């Protein structure tokens, strides 16, 4: 499989990243079944794996750790920190404070059965925490050898710039990657986030390139599918309520895209993944298979190159820089919530 540079780190990774959110209680509950999928991905040439402490309350990390026994040195391993684990309501057991990150990185290392994490990422913006606090502890982890590189996920462009300048001014380690939501249905990052990442030489690891299954081919106007197919997606049930106008817009677009894919001799999955792969700022989209069949269907997109006419038609269906549903952007600025903007 083709490799691409991970920003300016000097590290190269496979052009597809294996996402591990579906391994464990949120998806494939059988550990051996999940491990078989991971091994099949490795055998197919994927050497980039992304997970998070929150996925199935740490179970995903444990499964990945089991799967990488004897193969750890061959994999660029990424995980994330920020969200509360399971039902833990303790406000100090989440976020990006020094207190929590120092504690939780040790838990991730233990679950992953490794001495180091290649890419340790902040899972969501934390505007209530000083960015210097977060960068300071992450820099310490790099100096201690527990983490090789640091990144963030779903950061808006202004916060990306602030973090880069804070690292420069305070002589701290800088974030080298961003992990944003990006698909044909969710193109908002094209306006500012992707150009900003290119400006700072950051790698981009796109999550949900199939828009949580909307671009899998399951959601068609004549289909009988009425809801999400995994526990992870059922946590966001409103995102699949076809009576809502926002989801009708996605359904209409998915129908047109499926027809376009058929005309191009592709599956909708191949079209969707190739679209994300086609953007020059993207390092690798994250594929998140729950079954071996899912993996095989997504691997088939690795070598697809879309013709200009197909890309132009995609732009007609979903214009550049547009999220069909703004909530699919993954993070909403708390300053824009009604209670925060009342004067």
Question: Percentage of the chain surpassing pLDDT 90?
Answer: 83
pLDDT band at 210 (very low <50, low <70, confident <90, very high): very high
Q: Check whether 227 has a pLDDT greater than 80.
A: no
User: 64 or 225: whose pLDDT is higher?
Assistant: 64
Span 78-92, mean pLDDT?
A: 92
Q: Is 56 left (phi over 0), alpha (psi -120 to 50) or beta?
A: left
| pLDDT at residue 338 in the model | 79
Q: Check whether 237 has a pLDDT greater than 60.
A: no
pLDDT tens digits for range 59-72 = 999 999 999 999 99
Span 95-117, mean pLDDT?
A: 97
Which of 125, 138, 132 lies closest to 164, judged by CA?
Answer: 132
Mean pLDDT of the chain: 93
* Residue 120 annotated among the catalytic residues of the structure: no
The highest-level CATH class for domain 11-329 is alpha beta
Q: Answer whether 157's CB lies under 8 Å from 182's CB.
A: no
| pLDDT at residue 230 in the model | 60
Chain center to CA of 8: 20
DSSP 242-269: TTSHHHHHHHHHHHHHHHHHHHTT--HH
Q: Tell me how far apart the alpha carbons of residues 325 and 45 are, in angstroms, rounded to a whole number.
A: 34
Q: Tell me how far apart the alpha carbons of residues 92 and 99 are, in angstroms, rounded to a whole number.
A: 8
The residue annotated as part of the active site, out of 55, 182, 219, 240, is 55
Span 110-114, mean pLDDT?
A: 98
Span 91-107, mean pLDDT?
A: 96
| pLDDT at residue 224 in the model | 64
pLDDT tens digits for range 145-183 = 999 999 999 999 999 999 999 999 999 999 999 999 999
Span 193-215, mean pLDDT?
A: 97
Which of 51, 104, 59, 56 lies closest to 80, judged by CA?
Answer: 51
| pLDDT at residue 223 in the model | 65
Beta-ladder partners of 50: 19, 78
pLDDT band at 221 (very low <50, low <70, confident <90, very high): confident
pLDDT tens digits for range 275-331 = 999 999 999 999 999 999 999 999 999 999 999 999 999 999 999 999 998 889 988
Q: Check whether 332 has a pLDDT greater than 90.
A: no
Q: Check whether 127 has a pLDDT greater than 80.
A: yes
- For residue 316, how many C-alpha atoms fall within 13 Å in the half-sphere facing its CB? 9
Q: Answer whether 113's CB lies under 8 Å from 67's CB.
A: no
Spell out the domain ranges in the chain.
Answer: 11-329
Q: Check whether 117 has a pLDDT greater than 90.
A: yes
Span 130-150, mean pLDDT?
A: 98
pLDDT tens digits for range 20-68 = 999 999 999 999 999 999 999 999 999 999 999 999 999 999 999 999 9
Q: What global pTM score does this model have? A: 0.93
| pLDDT at residue 240 in the model | 78
């Amino acid at each position: 499989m083709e490799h691409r540079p991970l920003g300016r780190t000097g590290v190269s990774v496979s052009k597809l990243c294996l996402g591990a959110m579906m391994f464990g209680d949120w998806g494939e509950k059988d550990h051996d079944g999940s491990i078989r999928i991971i091994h099949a991905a490795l055998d197919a040439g994927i050497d980039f794996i992304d997970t998070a402490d929150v996925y199935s309350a740490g179970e995903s990390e444990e499964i990945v750790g089991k799967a990488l026994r004897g193969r750890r040195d061959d994999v660029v391993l990424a995980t994330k920190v920020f969200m509360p684990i399971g039902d833990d309501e303790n406000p100090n057991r989440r976020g990006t404070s020094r207190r929590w990150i120092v504690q939780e990185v040790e838990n991730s290392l233990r679950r992953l059965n490794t001495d180091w994490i290649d890419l340790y990422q902040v899972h969501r913006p934390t505007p209530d925490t000083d960015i210097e606090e977060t960068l300071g502890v992450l820099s310490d982890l790099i100096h201690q050898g527990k983490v090789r590189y640091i990144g963030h996920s779903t950061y808006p462009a202004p916060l990306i710039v602030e973090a880069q300048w804070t690292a420069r001014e305070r002589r701290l380690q800088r974030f080298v990657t961003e992990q944003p939501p990006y698909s044909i249905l969710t193109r908002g990052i094209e306006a500012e986030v992707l150009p900003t990442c290119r400006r700072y030489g950051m790698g981009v690891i796109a999550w949900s390139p199939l828009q949580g299954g909307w671009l899998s081919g399951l959601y068609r106007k004549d289909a009988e599918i009425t809801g999400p197919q995994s526990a992870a997606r059922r946590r966001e049930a409103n995102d699949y309520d076809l009576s809502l106008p926002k989801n009708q817009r996605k359904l209409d677009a998915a129908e047109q895209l499926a027809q376009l894919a058929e005309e191009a001799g592709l599956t909708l999955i191949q079209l969707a993944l190739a679209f994300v792969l086609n953007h020059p700022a993207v390092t690798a989209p994250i594929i998140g298979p729950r079954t071996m069949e899912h993996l095989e269907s997504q691997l088939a997109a690795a070598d697809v190159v879309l013709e200009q006419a197909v890309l132009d038609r995609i732009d007609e269906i979903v214009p550049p820089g547009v999220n069909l549903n703004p909530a699919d952007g993954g993070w909403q600025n708390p300053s824009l919530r009604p209670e925060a903007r009342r004067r």
